[in-house]
Amino acid sequence: MENNQPRMPLLGDKMPELTVQTTHGVKQIPGDFAGKWLVLFSHPGDFTPVCTTEFVAFANRAEEFKKLNAELCGHSIDQVFSHIKWVEWIEEKLNVKIPFPVIADDMGNIAKSLGMIHPGKGTNTVRAVYVIDPDGILRLMIYYPQEIGRQVDEVLRALKALQISDANKVAMPENWPNNELIKDKVIIPPPKDVAAIESRQQFEGPDWWFKYKEL
């Protein structure tokens, strides 16, 4: 039987061009963010406690994302007036200004096209994070269930790690820059042939396939 469900995007895919209504007006994603990193994140619904804590955390770190040439953009299956009132409530009650746009996907088409909705979970989106690079390529996805709030610092850490990996052609260890084994050092990618093994002897590490260096 033919499956007509939209395919969830995969890492390395070009993000589909989407025209979206946001609290900051109509946007083209990822086109309007070309040349910048984009952190697109969904939440199950406005005026909900866990989502509110997440929005506050993203807002409080917005300048840190901006320093990394990254823009933030929220999303949920709510109408734009609901987003606007919720953002106003956060500023009035919690004294936190939300500086980034929030997509109003009241028909759910964007959520469906990006795999944010599980068929058995109604219309609420999961807590998805998509990190899109300056060329519009999907580089990282993180999914959380509705019941568990994200750690925004992990999104920030992952973005930094991606950028350093790209710039230096290295891999990043677990919990970089605070790895239990090699601290803030970065990993030399595995050799592609026998001849490349010799050139790796200059680097620190317990064996030829596990080498690392200071950044």
- CATH ID of 18-150, from 3.40.50.10470, 3.50.50.60, 3.40.30.10, 3.90.226.10: 3.40.30.10
Please count the other Cβ atoms lying within 10 Å of the Cβ belonging to residue 166. 12
For 85-125, the pLDDT digits (tens) are 999 999 999 999 999 999 998 888 888 888 887 666 666 77
For 3-20, the pLDDT digits (tens) are 455 567 899 999 988 999
Backbone angles phi, psi at 195, to 5 degrees: -60, -30
Q: Do domains 18-150 and 169-215 have the same CATH topology?
A: no
The strand pairing partners of 80, in sequence order, are none
For 52-90, the pLDDT digits (tens) are 999 999 999 999 999 999 999 999 999 999 999 999 999
DSSP 179: B
Give the integer Cα–Cα distance in Å for 63 and 166: 22
DSSP 98: -
Class for domain 169-215, per CATH? alpha beta
Domain ranges of the chain: 18-150, 169-215
Q: Give the pairing of strands 25-29 and 186-187.
A: unpaired
- Is the pTM value of this prediction over 0.95? no
Catalytic residues: 51
CA atoms within 13 A of residue 62's CA, in its CB half-sphere: 15
Among the listed residues 125, 79, 74, the one whose alpha carbon sits nearest the alpha carbon of residue 104 = 79
